[in-house]
Amino acid sequence: MSWYRNTVWFVKGLREYTRGGYESASKQFNPADVDVDVAGRSFLITGANSGIGKATAKEIARRGGTVHLVCRNKERAEVAKEEIVTETGNQNIFLHIVDISNPKEIWKFAEKFQKEHKLNVLINNAGCMVNNRELTEDGLEKNFATNTLGTYIMTTALVPLLEKAADARVITVSSGGMLVQKLNISDLQSGSGPFDGTMVYAQNKRQQVVLTEQWAKAHRNIHFSVMHPGWADTPAVRSSMPDFYERMKNSLRTEDQGADTVLWLAVSAEATKLPSGLFFQDRQPVPTHLPLAYTHSPPEDEEKLMEVLEEFSQKFKSVSPG
């Protein structure tokens, strides 16, 4: 059935995920939803030096929020921070250098952050699509380490801080590509069979949807959501999917259009009127499975994913420096 899922997803993408899909959907948006002052609220955004992460950070900064940029590359991050401060006039922009593929670094960062800052909103935006199987220094497959385990550790490590906050939210930037994948807990690090970076990425994004649903059940005082930004023209798309980019570049969304639903989920009062744990596209909750796609998983598989990630997480916490 993979051919069916891929075909339906691509046709759906041409209709909904491109710039035209955004322009059509945005006719129903209420501009007042995001015309808000968030001064005094603290936002942490991973992967914030480019693309959707930077676009989101800039819009939150315009609205007066305190923004913590969590980035891997110090040089590019400093340029992004300066650009955000200059364009918005907001001085409350803070930079943290963390490699989200390195679980020990995430633990060290989160432990320090909790002692020094408050946090109202966590935006898990950092991600990667590595097209050949690469291992991190910890022996983890790089896509899994960044997209799944990194997101898991960053979120669970900061939940205690979020629990103390008013109107706490966690937003994870996923992908509609996850619609072509059924959760596979038997090979989380893609060690068997041929390696297809695009499908590994899609599997990680399915895992993020499951994480969000499970967190929503476990932490009732925090509003969790996961979203698809559509097909946007970002540096990550250009570098990781060059063929797709060349074919679609005239139809891709802008970075701001891709970031719109992230911003809406992060700042609007309307977002938290909807149940926690949903998957969003263009400010609307949408199904997490295509019709007839057979991508549903039994509850025990979803629980097993959480158990395995918690085991990984604690293993790296125990050797965390500091």
Place of tokens 């969003």: 280
Q: Is 4 a catalytic residue?
A: no
pLDDT of residue 2: 73
The answer to whether residue 321 sits within a structural domain is no
What pLDDT sits at residue 9? 65
Report yes or no on 165 lying in a domain.
yes
pLDDT tens-digit map of 88-147: 999 999 999 999 999 999 999 999 999 999 999 999 999 999 999 999 999 999 999 999
Task: Note down the domain range covering 212.
Answer: 3-315
> Is 169 part of a structural domain of the chain?
yes
| Alpha helices in 64-185, H assignment, sequence order | 74-88, 103-116, 142-143, 151-163
1 has a pLDDT exceeding 60: no
Whether 320 has a pLDDT exceeding 60, the answer reads no
φ, ψ for residue 91 (rounded to 5)? -90, -10
User: Kind and range of the H or E element at 44?
Assistant: strand 42-46
What is 67-98 written as a DSSP string? EEEEES-HHHHHHHHHHHHHHH----EEEEE-
Q: Which of 152, 201, 245, 294 is catalytic?
A: 201
Q: What is the pLDDT of residues 30-86, one digit of tens each?
A: 999 999 999 999 999 999 999 999 999 999 999 999 999 999 999 999 999 999 999
**Domain assignment present for 188:** yes
Q: Which pLDDT belongs to residue 318?
A: 62
Question: The domain that contains 138 carries what CATH number?
Answer: 3.40.50.720
- Split at pLDDT 50, 70, 90, the class of 303 is very high
25-34, 186-195, 243-252: least confidently modelled range:
243-252
> Would residue 320 count as lying in a domain?
no
- pLDDT tens digits, 243-277: 876 887 788 999 999 999 999 999 999 999 999 99
- Looking at the structure of the chain, the number of domains it has is 1
pLDDT in the model for residue 322: 45
289 assigned to some structural domain? yes
Residue 322 within any structural domain of the chain: no
Residue 206 lies in a domain: yes
